Structure 1
Amino acid sequence: MDTHKLSPWNWLRNEGSDTGSGSTPAKSSGGEVSPLLGIHQELDRWMDRVMGQFGMPSTVAGEAPSLLRPSVDIAERDKEYVISVEVPGVEEKDIKLNLEDDQLIIEGEKRQEEKSEEKRYQRIERSYGSFRRMLNLPADARKEDIQASFNNGVLTVTVPRDAEAAPKRQEIPIKH
């Protein structure tokens, strides 16, 4: 992988702060997050991610299990960003794509097949339920021209870039 081409933009900056359950960080009287409660919440989120890797339910109190978290690839090109979201087993009609200020919100639901008398499951390992991914758009994103397509379980979102708002990069030579 050519890591020097990775953009430093933090696309997932606010995703951890919104769990989809409506919970908010504990704040002290001054409006700041209490350091101890902030550490506790971060440990809860970390444990939730670790447990989710083994197919176990959420450990965060008051949250529904969040086993679905579609993988996201974000490619930066000269004229656009291309976001690919893997959502196998999800139908196009069950995906919603919204723009809220500078955040692209991808929501959906993977529905379980209808159970019948003919199917007597011995084991169920596939995950079902709702998912939500929140991506922070960079300053050079042309939000009004975003397009999306869906094919073979992959949602592809194309975000055009504004050439004038794009940060200018210039290599500075190092002299000996």
Structure 2
Amino acid sequence: MDIKKWVPWNWFKKEEEGIGKMVPVKRENAKEQSGVPAHPLQQFHHEIDRLFDQAFRGFGLYPFGFDQPLFPRLADGILKPTLDLGATDKEYTITVELPGVDEKDVKLEIINDTLTISGEKKQEKEEKEKNYYRMERSYGSFQRVLSLPEDADQDKVNATFKRGVLTVTMPRKALPKSDVKQIEVKST
């Protein structure tokens, strides 16, 4: 029985290693955004949420993640799109949700058994009406770094982009069987 078959592959080990290397982005607190000091209970609630997020981020978990946005931000301000990983006997499938992102703004690279999906979200919306004018802008860069398993065929990767969803498929290749040598134990 091959025990390695039952051990899950850690797709995110490279991403977890690189979290500390990202460039920080300025963040404003509630007081700076509105000009009005936040209520002390609201500040306390925000601080508790931040502590829980920080504690569980190391495990790749969001304890109360039902209300997480489609494009959550890491503590340093970089967008982190959600993704799904799937595997069959024949291929791996990675699906990344990129709402509001154009296909031309998405970049995929494989370097040293690591798949990097990166890009920028640029969105502008302008409304002109008789009594008002509104301009909304949304900008941000994103990056996901995935460690590829040994049996992923990196030479046959296929990527498609449709309606804000990036789908990456990678066939699985057969790995050479490892030679197991039995070592005789002798008594002395």
TM-score calculated relative to the size of structure 1: 0.62
Which residue pairs with 1:147 in the alignment? 158
Give the secondary-structure state (helix, strand or coil) at the position aligned to 1:10: coil
Number of residue pairs matched by the alignment: 136
* Higher Cα Rg, which structure: 2
User: What residue number does 2:103 align with?
Assistant: 92
Whole-Å Cα distance in 2 between the matches of residues 22 and 7 of structure 1? 33
1:103-114 to 2 correspondence within 5 Å?
103-113=114-124
CA drift at 1:11: 0.3
Larger strand percent: 2
Structure 1 residues 6 and 86, CA gap change in structure 2 (3 angstroms)? farther
- Change beyond 3 A, Cα 1:79–1:48: closer
Tell me: CA distance 1:70–1:145, structure 2 relative to 1, closer, same or farther (3 Å). same
Percent identical: 45
**Structure 1 position 120 matched with structure 2 position 128:** no
In 2, Cα distance between equivalents of 1:166 and 1:9: 19
Aligned with 1:109: secondary structure?
A: strand
Tell me, which stretches of 5 or more residues in structure 2 are unaligned? 25-50, 63-67, 179-188
Q: Partner amino acid for 1:46?
A: Q
Q: Which residue of 2 aligns with 1:75?
A: 86
**Contact 1:103–1:137 under 8 Å retained in 2:** yes
Q: Does the aligned pair in 2 maintain the 1:106–1:132 contact within 8 Å?
A: yes
Structure 1 or 2: larger helix share? 2
Q: Which runs of 5+ in 1 are unaligned?
A: 24-42, 168-176
Q: How does the TM-score come out when normalised to structure 2?
A: 0.58
| Aligned counterparts, 1:11-90, within 5 A | 11-19=11-19, 21=22, 46=54, 53=68, 59=75, 63=76, 65-66=77-78, 68-90=79-101
Aligned partners of 1:154, 1:117: CA distance in 2, in Å? 30
Q: Does 1:137 align with 2:138?
A: no
RMSD over aligned CA atoms reads 3.7
